[in-house]
Chains A and B, each alone.
Chain A
Amino acid sequence: MDEKTAIQLTLKGNPAALEWLVEHNQLKAVRAAYLITGDHFSAEDVVQEAFLDLPDLMRTFDANRPFEPWFLRVIVHRALRALTRERKWVQFPDLSEMDRIVSRWTNDQFSPETALQQRELETRMWNEMKKLSPEQRAAIVMRYYLGMSEEEMALAASVPAGTIKWRLSAARRQLRQLFQEDPRKD
């Protein structure tokens, strides 16, 4: 079975086809949801519910386009919505705090040569991610993990593109400070 067939059969109500779509799209979806929600079970909930709603959601899906980018946009949107509902990490970003933490990532001189250093990097980055607002976290995930363009990100997050640019810029600066690099290099 290929993706197009799976989509067509899913629209006809074939459970094996829907299961195929789940099997082939679940991992990236649940990982992206986890990076946004920060919670294993919330991430599973988001993805599970999205799959359960898929027959309805697919009424608006253009079957001539690839499934995964569309579905991941759905996941991001729902992960954000779930956080808004749960209000776990939601905190309005403090600009002065962000300026202090900002700009540490992409120009950092850091070479994790051992597994331990890599693990340390992951821990530090994850801790910094948790300090971001959900929207900023979503922006990072969409841009760097899912490789979305800013226009795609805007649609996924249901906000105007300009807003996403601000979120991404703020988040990127904040994360860069993880490595205490020159924040002027944007």
Chain B
Amino acid sequence: MSAESSPKIVIVDESPIRAAILEEGLREAGFTGVVHIREMQSLLARIYALDPDVILIDLENPSRDVLEQMFQVSRAVKRPIAMFVDQSDAASIQASVDAGVSAYIVDGLKKERIKPILDLCISRFNAFSKLQDELDRTKSALEDRKVIDRAKGILMKVKGLTEDEAYVLMRSTAMREKKKIGEIAQSILTASELLK
């Protein structure tokens, strides 16, 4: 497939879920030539073999520096990489760095063809981190729930309170000390551990 019909896009990402989310989005938008590289060994050789027009890499990936080599004019570099975006396009850089992704465009691809790829990439990366945040929040809420239940049990036993009274006591203490109820519950667990 020639670059005119659909540019060949390589996604370099060690997270299979994020790469899948991005790949799906690109395919839906009509970009059919998408390849995902997960293995960082001999990264440059893999990329040269695929000869892509656009390379997308997540910013948590130390191998980003490997790609910088493609800016160099040397025997090893077949098609040099162009500037990531226009010198003037600071907003695009800001948006992609905020989203946690960087794009490398091989020389020759027109700017108007890059923009939709980059925009889609940024929105999918943002969607992924939102998902990740929600997952983390759910996990920590579940964790808090368990800690609170155990702390309640301790208060009920030691102070002879009902379940509701134990909860109210923790909540009012949390409000007074400007802490989260999970933190108060954790202190109760720690204290009871120490006093054992």
Partners in one complex: no
Interface residues of A (CB under 8 A from B): none
Interface residues of B (CB under 8 A from A): none
